[in-house]
Structure 1
Amino acid sequence: MTKISGTVTKDISKMALGVALLGFAGAYAQVTVNKAEGWLESAYAEWAPVSGATSYNVYCDGNKIDNQLIRSYGSYMRADVLGIKGGSHTLKIAPVVNGVEGTAVTKSVTVLPHDRTGFAFSNGRVPGAYNADGTLKSGAAVLYISENTKNTVTMDVTTNAKGTKTTCKSFQGILNCYKKGYETTPLDLRFIGNVTDSDSLQQGDMMIDLGSSEKSYVTVEGVGNDAVANGWGIRIKNAQNVEVRNLGIMNVNSNEGDNIGLQQNDQYVWVHNNDFFYGDAGSDADQAKGDGALDCKKSTYITFSYNHFWDNGKSNLLGLSEGTTEGYYITYHHNWYDHSDSRHPRVRYYSAHVYNNYYDGNAKYGIGSTLGSSVFAEGNYFRNCKYPMLTSMQGSDLYAGTTTASTDNATFSKEAGGSIKAYNNYMEGAVTFIPYGSSTYTLKGAETSVGSINSKTDFDAYVVTSRTAQMPSSVTSKSGANTYNNFDLNSSVMYSYTADEPAVAKATVMIYAGRVQGGDFKWTFDNSVDDAAYAVNTALKAALVAYKGTVQSIQGEGTLPIYVPVSSSSAASSSSQKAESSSSSVNATSSSSWSGATGSSSSNSAAEMGSTLAIDKDVVHNFTEDATSSDYFEFIGSLSTSKGTVEYNGESLTRCLKMETSTSIEFTLSKKATVKLVFNADFEKSVKVNGEKVTAKAGIVTVELAAGAHKITKGDSGNLFLIVVDVDETSVPSSSSVASSSSAADESSSSSEEGGTTAVVTKMQAVAPMRYVASDARLEIFAENIRRLDIVSVNGHVLLSTETLSQSSVDLSNLKPGVYLVRLVTGGRAYQQKIVKR
């Protein structure tokens, strides 16, 4: 085991590596920053830990950040800086070794402001513990809650009119003390990592009840991209000036069942940039995915914005038994309804501004208006949303895509109708929509005559050509004769805002909705299936139930892992670990680079792996020249075993995969690449890349793909050879074009057809095993669930050996020039790569 002093025993194979792999600098005590970026009123940096460092000092614009914002993830360190204004900022990171701050590295980042638009900011209110510029309110109390501190964190809270302070314990206990209404200190509860149920939750929920105080300001937020409320929800009632942001909420099993629910008597509440996942199944048939994701009842001046809803069953219920359409105002904007089913929102009574949201493959419906509600739907983007807008008991709610109206089709329990004013919305795909007074309507994506439908009584929404156009009082709901109140044109109520064009809103939502960097939980939906399905996605459900988080330690909660470099002199403990010869001749029987053999070959000694390696350039055989495609990719599926070179039309094509039957392959790229699809027959309809049809005659189709996971599907027989060729970064569309396209390559502007060639861009996480970047002397690690990593010198010295490694990269810049063998064991495979350090 590794000792604090740096002395290493002979049992190197069990050394706790964690972050030391990345540093590899040992005595140099120098930070290598892998990433430093700004986000929304925050910034973050990830770096290679320094051997021997007991802690790190991180500064933003010269101000030292809190210890708890600095965390270890095993193979890298991360710090998130919260509460900073939009603009340019300077981050400085320095290791602390033996109590002395070492050499610091500085990085400049650009930070963007949050979009504080919506009813929650009416009447001069700024919900939460932050000011309108993103900085903390004066005197705000900041508390950090992790899995370790959730039940022990304390704060002295004023609990009576005399100013008596009471020491309150646990985050729920502190909120319970705030309920008394005497404490006016703005409170910021910052959650770190995966936090499961606390001992003091109320029926399984965090309860934010502030006793209707107008002077209490509370923010509940997550730190970084991986803060998760796992198993518990958040209820808000009798509360004003509350903000909830940057949390992932999953597996909720509370009595109420909502991920977040505004229950009653709430005002000026802002819920934004959260990820909403499945909850536990409830007792009702429509609760298989949990109950409501983000519901609101009997509350006003609310904004829900930039949230990401992941296949939720019931996303946003709005209203219950308010009984009046007066005084209830809410805004939904820039939310990503990602294959969620319904209630986006379902509105009773309220005046609701629903704008610039992205409806992405919704199996049931988008916006629903009932019980006299007034909904202004503006600038939304609907892609394969079955019914983009529904008004209860009329239009598509009764016809349901048929030629006969029936109350049996009613979606909203036969509630009386409300009103939807619609302006500048964009709809594509298999949508059905009946506009007021039109002679045609959209039926499952096709323009169709209304026929016997009276579109002045059976309509889904009143469509206007100007946002300032009024919806006349003569237009009423078929059931209940309710009218639109034109709240959006009332200057005494409506806020100032500028709506994006729908396509711009979609691109913005896909970048910024949800947690920082889109959160740590990644999932790619299959549009061909998930657009129309509303059953539980069992694979997604299993992944959420299995989620544990990856934070290994938090600075300030205890000692960070301390890592020391492994000296070559201490590594070779027996003659069996020493090379017999330093010859550089090729050993034809030695293991080839990137061997794809299943199982572990850990019995090989260092000498057997590293004594006879031929090196004639910086990177030798990143991938074997004569191996199967499986040596270049990880494949899943039933495949033929064709390997090596395929001759096609006089051209030798290497690294080929032959698809002879109807099948699908899934693979990962370690970098951006050009993939050639070589057809020996005409395929008009049977081949898809990431869900997008590829139309081609016999010949070669070139597809440019980003690093990450991809899927090619072929629906009938005939050979298709798959060939992969690495390309320069500049030959692939920029990240901005990737960000503006759909994650499933569904944006037509991202594809071009010329001579049978289709270019498809996707945005996915890189997960290929590893590769060596000679120019940066860096070993990039993309695989997860690493079983082992070894770096062995040509003379047999084991320079690095670990059984613990997370996804990141290994800095080899301080490695002495020479020949090395890198061996990675992951997923039941052993991968080997020979490198030379110049």
Structure 2
Amino acid sequence: MTESGGWYESAYIKWKPVSNAASYNVYVKPASAGDSAYTLIDDMLIRKYPSYWRADAVGLTPGQYVMKVEAVLSNGSKERAVSDPLSVIANDRSGFAFSSESTFGTGSGAYKDDGTLKDGAQVIYITSDTAKKVTLDVIVNKSGKRQTATGIGEILALRQKGYDKTPLAIRFIGQLSRSDMSGQLNSSGYLQVKGKSAYTEMNMTLEGIGEDATAYGWGILVRNCGNLEVRNLGIMLYPDDGISLDTDNCNVWVHNNDIFYGTAGSDADQAKGDGSADVKKSSTYITFSYNHFWDSGKSSLCGLKETEDFFVSYHHNWFDHSDSRHPRIRLGSIHIYNNYYDGNSKYGVGITTGGSAFVEANYFRNCKYPMMSSLQGTDALGEGTFSGEDGGIIKAFNNKIENANSLIYANSDDGTAKENKTSFDAYLASSRNETVPGSYKTLVGNKAYNNFDTRKDLGVSQSDIDDPNDVAQVVTSLSGRMNKGDFTWKFNNASDDSSYDMNTGLMSKIRSYKTELVSIGGK
């Protein structure tokens, strides 16, 4: 055994090939339990790489575990190796997707909130070989009739009928290119995850296994879904949006993904793709957390054509030299906390159309304009950086801000920002629970802050919010895919902090990316 470790509700081991091994079996058990507690993991979780083998155990409750690999030799004998104790940690289930006021109260999808699969859950594995031929029996009418679907596209299409609410974990392994997914995507290049009507209960998780699960050349479109989780995926060269929570979704949790460049669009500001992770059209009680945005042009649109309030949380995301829309808000009530704004060339949080955003305990490092409201404050200085829509109100509290070009508070000068009581970027709260007075209104639109953070269950308690001085370390250690994924790139802060041009070196590496995975299964 060459390497082992624990991560979010999962653990893994690596080992060198064993001479004359015909196959491998891998087991996992709690470290304190006897050998009779060993459980055999699925064969698809065992993979071969050029110089080693690897196995991942998923769906574990937090705690200490050991894993055992058993090599079955060609003569029938066996050799075994056992890992040291592995520390498995809990996912951070917080934010609006876990609010008690939401429809389903959770965004854990096919999993329980303790990290284990729900009772009766189905599991399917999607690889470059199985995407078109994986099968699953799906309930297709109210009488319980089952139809066998072939291919991930047909499975999701039959689930769209709305009769089958069986918990379903869809596990992606290795690099899946657009050609591998041929016939499984819609005409725009998206894997469609849809419910029958608004907020349909899905009980579904889309998850990458290990460090190298990658959607290469396609994106994910989510519509009419309730209780859906998307995690541990790398998304490269997507067609328009990487992950689009398009219409009428609730209790959706998008976390621990690596989102890279998309393909260029027709507009000048779409050279890096369009939206990396967007939420819009009456989607609500959504959490985006621990995602790593790699130089995104437009990280996250939050709101489009809504007529009613909606609720979204962004926390512990790494906006890594991305340019804008972190997020770009219309109308909604948005909680933004513990994110790392790391060298952002245009702006951080932008708000319009009477929206309200509570921005707390984030770290803005060399973010040009940390917070902006349309047509007032910094946006009114004439650089044309943001929007022509009516403004919204930001309540700011306990943020760490370094080297901002402009930040204008409504009510206080804290030494890093100007003060303007009528044309401001944000209201600076003196305490977390402070109510923003209704007298502070947008310059255009005459809208006040709605104080949602003092009357709603945000899905997170004050004690669970990290100190902004710790945010950079926490976020860079834990965001993105498992163990930071299999893709490495180091930005040059001196040049990349202020540039919103495409990084040609990064794009070249993305275009040339190829998995090192050799085969899947223990044989």
TM-score (norm 2): 0.94
Aligned counterparts of 1:36 and 1:242: Cα–Cα separation in 2: 30
Instruction: Tell me how large the CA RMSD over aligned residues is.
Output: 1.5
Q: Secondary structure at the match of 2:82?
A: strand
Corresponding residue for residue 172 of structure 1? 153
Equivalent-residue separation in structure 1 for 2:27 and 2:96 (angstroms): 35
CA distance in 1, matches of 2:478, 2:472: 10
Residue 35 of structure 1 aligns with an amino acid whose one-letter code is E
Aligned to 2:480: 514
Per the TM alignment, residue 214 of structure 1 is displaced from its structure 2 partner at its CA by 4.1
Aligned to 2:32: none
Are the structure 2 counterparts of residues 488 and 100 from structure 1 closer, same or farther at C-alpha, using a change threshold of 3 Å?
farther
Q: 1:361 aligns with which of 339, 343, 357?
A: 343
- Residue in 1 aligned with 2:209? 223
Distance 2:22 2:43 in 1: 12
Q: Counterpart in 2 of 1:248? A: 234
Partner of 2:33 in structure 1? none
1:393 counterpart letter in structure 2: L
Q: Answer whether contact 1:296 1:316 (CA < 8 A) is retained.
A: yes
Q: Match of 1:138, SS?
A: coil
The equivalent residue for 1:55 is: 23
Q: How far apart are the structure 2 equivalents of 1:170 and 1:122?
A: 34
Q: Do the aligned residues in 1 keep the contact of 2:299 with 2:325 (CA within 8 Å)?
A: yes
Which contiguous aligned blocks of 4+ residues in structure 1 show a shift greater than 6 angstroms?
Answer: none
Distance 1:272 1:440, change over 3 A: closer
Match of 2:94 in 1: 117
Q: 1:411 to 1:330 in 2, by over 3 A?
A: same
Are the aligned partners of 1:379 and 1:500 in contact in 2 as well (CA < 8 Å)? yes
Q: Give the aligned length.
A: 503
- 3-state SS in 2 of match to 1:137: coil
Partner of 2:285: 301
Q: Does 1:534 align with 2:500?
A: yes
Please say if residues 488 and 494 of structure 1, whose CA atoms lie closer than 8 Å, have aligned partners that are also in contact.
no
Q: 1:440 to 1:166 in 2, by over 3 A?
A: closer
Please name the residue that 1:272 is paired with.
255
Between the aligned partners of 1:455 and 1:354, the Cα distance in structure 2 is 23
Give the drift of 1:201.
Answer: 0.5
CA distance in 2, matches of 1:315, 1:418: 19
Equivalent in 552, 556, 572 of residue 518 of structure 2: 552
Contact kept, 8 Å, 2:94 with 2:459, in 1: the verdict is no
| 101 and 486 in structure 1: CA distance in 2 versus 1, 3 angstrom threshold | farther
Match of 1:463 in 2: 428
Contact 1:475 1:483 survives alignment (8 Å): yes
Change (3 A) 1:101 1:512: farther
Distance change in 2, residues 1:492/1:514 (3 Å): closer
Q: 2-side partners of 1:333 and 1:99: how far apart?
A: 53
> Structure 1: 5+ residue runs without aligned partners?
1-32, 400-405, 561-838
Q: Residues 165 and 201 of structure 2 are in contact (CA less than 8 Å); yes or no, is this contact kept in structure 1? A: yes
Structure 1's 101 and 322: CA in aligned 2 closer, same or farther, altered over 3 A? farther
* Bigger Rg, which one: 1
**1:308 partner letter:** H
Structure-1 separation of matches of 2:201 and 2:99: 16
Instruction: Tell me what 1:565 maps to.
Output: none
Within-5 A mapping of 1:308-347: 308-324=292-308, 326=309, 328-347=310-329
CA-CA distance at 1:163 after TM superposition = 1.0
Contact 1:209 1:239 in 2 (8 A): yes
Q: 2:490 aligns with which of 501, 524, 533?
A: 524
1:307 partner letter? N
Q: 1:392, 1:410 within 8 Å by CA — same for their partners in 2?
A: no
Q: Is the 8 A contact 1:439 1:455 kept in 2?
A: no
Matches within 5 A, 1:83-102: 83-98=59-74, 100=76, 102=78
Partner of 2:130: 149
Q: List per-residue Cα deviations over 1:366-396 (Å, max 9, x = no partner).
A: 0011101000000000100000101111111
Deviations, residues 631-676 of structure 1 (Å, cap 9, x unaligned): xxxxxxxxxxxxxxxxxxxxxxxxxxxxxxxxxxxxxxxxxxxxxx
What are the residue-to-residue correspondences of 1:378-397 with 2, within 5 Å? 378-397=360-379
Structure 1 residue 98: Cα displacement: 2.1
* 1:398 Cα offset (Å): 1.4
Paired position in structure 1 for 2:357:
375
- What percentage of aligned pairs have identical amino acids? 49
Residue equivalent to 1:415: 389
Alpha-carbon distance, 1:458 to partner? 1.7
Runs of at least 5 residues in structure 2 that lack an aligned partner in the other structure: 30-37
User: Structure 1 stretch 270-279 or stretch 495-504: which is displaced more?
Assistant: 495-504
> Which of 14, 39, 43 matches 1:67?
43
Aligned to 1:139: 120
Q: Deviation string for 1:105-150 (max 9, x for gaps)?
A: 1111010000000111123522210100000011111101111111
Distance 1:379 1:495 in 2: 13
Aligned partner of 1:578 in structure 2 is none
Aligned to 2:35: none
The answer to whether the 8 A contact 1:140-1:185 is kept is: yes
Distance change (3 Å), C-alpha of 1:487 and 1:101: farther
Q: Is the 8 A contact 1:362 1:384 kept in 2?
A: yes
Check if 1:106 corresponds to 2:92: no
Aligned pair 1:482/2:450, yes or no?
no
The equivalent of 1:210 in structure 2 is 195
Q: How far does residue 354 in structure 1 lie from its aligned partner after superposition?
A: 0.1
